[in-house]
Each structure stands twice: as C-alpha cells, then as structure tokens.
Amino acid sequence: MKSSFAIVANGDSALDIRFDASPSLELSERIIALAQAVEAQRWEGVGDLIPAYQCLTVCYNPLNCNNSDLTNRLESLTRQQLRQPPKLDRKPRLIRVPVCYDAEFAPDMREVSEHTGLSAEQIIARHCAPDYLVHMLGFTPGFLYLGGLDPQLHCPRKATPELRVPAGAVGIGGSQTGIYPQVTPGGWQIIGRTPVQLFRPQSETPFIAEPLDKIEFFPVDRDAFECFQQDSLEITPLESAP
C-alpha cells in the first residue's frame, strides 16, 4: 500500500500514527497489523494501542518511555510494515445481527424515509443488503464503527440529540450505521433495535466483534426479537461464510 504517515503527539502520554489514505479495508488491515507488530515488541512503558479509521494511537508511560526514542522506533517499524503484506493473527468473522424494524423500535424511520425518498420496506432492504466492515470500536464500550452503508441511506444526524437512546438501537448518522450498546445520549436516526448484547463485561470475550470482522443485519419480527438468546448469535469464519 502506498501511503504516507506522520507520528504526532497526542497529549503528553500518547503518539498517533496518522495515515493520509482514505478509510478502507486495506488501511484497516494495515492498522491492525501494525498494532500487533507494536505489541510484539514489548517495549517498556508502552500501554494501550487504539486503532481508528486512519490512525493508531500508542499510549505510553512518560516516566519510563522517552517520547523521542519511541517516535523513532515507531517510525522505523511502520515503514517496515508498509513494505510487506499485512500479517494478521486472527481470522475475521461474519456476525449476523437480528434487527426488529417495527415502528415502536424505529422512531425515526419516517424522517429517514422523507430524506431519502425511500419507503420503510426499501430502507430495510437496503440496510440489510451489505456486509459491513468493522473498522474500529469506540464512543462507548462495544460501539462498532461500520463501513459500507448504501449511499442512498446517508442521512443527517438529528439537530438536537436525544438524551436517552435505548441499548440495542440501530441508527444511521451521516454515512455510517451502527448500534448503541448501552443506554446513552445520541443523535443518530433510529430505524430499528437488536436484542443482541454488544458488550458483556463479565464475559471472556466482552465485545461481539473486533476490527476487521463483518456485520450482516437481517430483519426479524417482534416474536423473534423477544425470544432471542445470545448464544444463538450466528458467527461464521469469514473464509467459509456464504
């Protein structure tokens, strides 16, 4: 991948490795592979590694890790990684997420319909058509930043955010779609709700997905929504997914 990058201070205890390429599967693979490579170095003082759309944030303890030395090491390692195909230590998965689009769970469906000129049925069909790439997690624990929303579904965020969006609410904000893992304020247009728990802090795997996994939404009725069991979540290795 041909891309330039810059290493920029993020406060007094983190460095951002920022790429100038547009968000894509290839860039996300590069960022995740780079995070794995940094972790493998086991450099003293280096802590959390936070991948984003176009950036990897490297947190460090300034009491036992020199900013200048770390910058030089990260620059060398990043250039080395860019010269070879990304090596990933896990296989991505396809996760099928049920969504109930009934009116009671879709308070903003009318607004999305008026903005896009599509009927509710057309919105649901287009929303369920893609396999969405998980680029990153953030905002709240378990919130998935997904790429791949149909351009015809792009819709502005609300002028005034809601103070309380329910857990499991599925929304559209600008060119993105996503699920609210917890009850939280939010300004996305809500078009459905899933019974899936995206964040289970007591579990050995607290998040249902990781970067580079893919999400497929599929519609369910109210009965299926009420009867859903977390252990029935469909998760398939991406190589063998249909």
Residue 17: pLDDT over 70: yes
Considering the domain architecture, whether residues 139 and 40 belong to the same structural domain is answered as no
Considering the domain architecture, whether residues 97 and 217 belong to the same structural domain is answered as yes
Mean pLDDT of the region 66-86: 93
Considering the domain architecture, whether residues 106 and 223 belong to the same structural domain is answered as yes
Mean pLDDT of the region 62-72: 93
pLDDT of residue 240: 47
Answer with the one of 22, 56, 82 that is the final residue of a domain.
82
CATH number for the domain spanning 185: value is: 2.40.100.10
Is residue 87, in this structure, part of any structural domain at all? no
Considering the domain architecture, whether residues 72 and 130 belong to the same structural domain is answered as no
Band (pLDDT 50/70/90 cuts) for residue 2 is low
The 3-state secondary structure of the chain reads CCCCEEEEECCCCEEEEEECCCCCHHHHHHHHHHHHHHHHHCCCCEEEEEECCCEEEEEECCCCCCHHHHHHHHHHHHHHHHCCCCCCCCCCEEEEEEEECCHHHCCCHHHHHHHHCCCHHHHHHHHHCCCEEEEEECCCCCCEEEECCCHHHCECCCCCCEEEECCCEEEEEECEEEECCCCEEECCEEEEECCCCCECCCCCCCECCCCCCEEEEEECCHHHHHHCCHHHCEEEEHHHCC
Is residue 97, in this structure, part of any structural domain at all? yes
pLDDT of residue 238: 84
Structural domain containing residue 64: 5-82
Residue 239: pLDDT over 80: no
* Number of domains composing the chain: 2
Residue 242: pLDDT over 70: no
Considering the domain architecture, whether residues 132 and 188 belong to the same structural domain is answered as yes
pLDDT of residue 135: 93
CATH number for the domain spanning 35: value is: 3.30.1360.40
pLDDT of residue 85: 87
Considering the domain architecture, whether residues 44 and 101 belong to the same structural domain is answered as no
Considering the domain architecture, whether residues 143 and 217 belong to the same structural domain is answered as yes
Residue 141: pLDDT over 50: yes
Residue 91: pLDDT over 80: yes
Mean pLDDT of the region 200-228: 94
Band (pLDDT 50/70/90 cuts) for residue 89 is confident
Considering the domain architecture, whether residues 227 and 123 belong to the same structural domain is answered as yes
Mean pLDDT of the region 21-41: 94
Considering the domain architecture, whether residues 143 and 196 belong to the same structural domain is answered as yes
pLDDT of residue 1: 55
Considering the domain architecture, whether residues 136 and 232 belong to the same structural domain is answered as yes
Is residue 88, in this structure, part of any structural domain at all? no
Considering the domain architecture, whether residues 195 and 101 belong to the same structural domain is answered as yes
Considering the domain architecture, whether residues 42 and 102 belong to the same structural domain is answered as no
Band (pLDDT 50/70/90 cuts) for residue 241 is very low
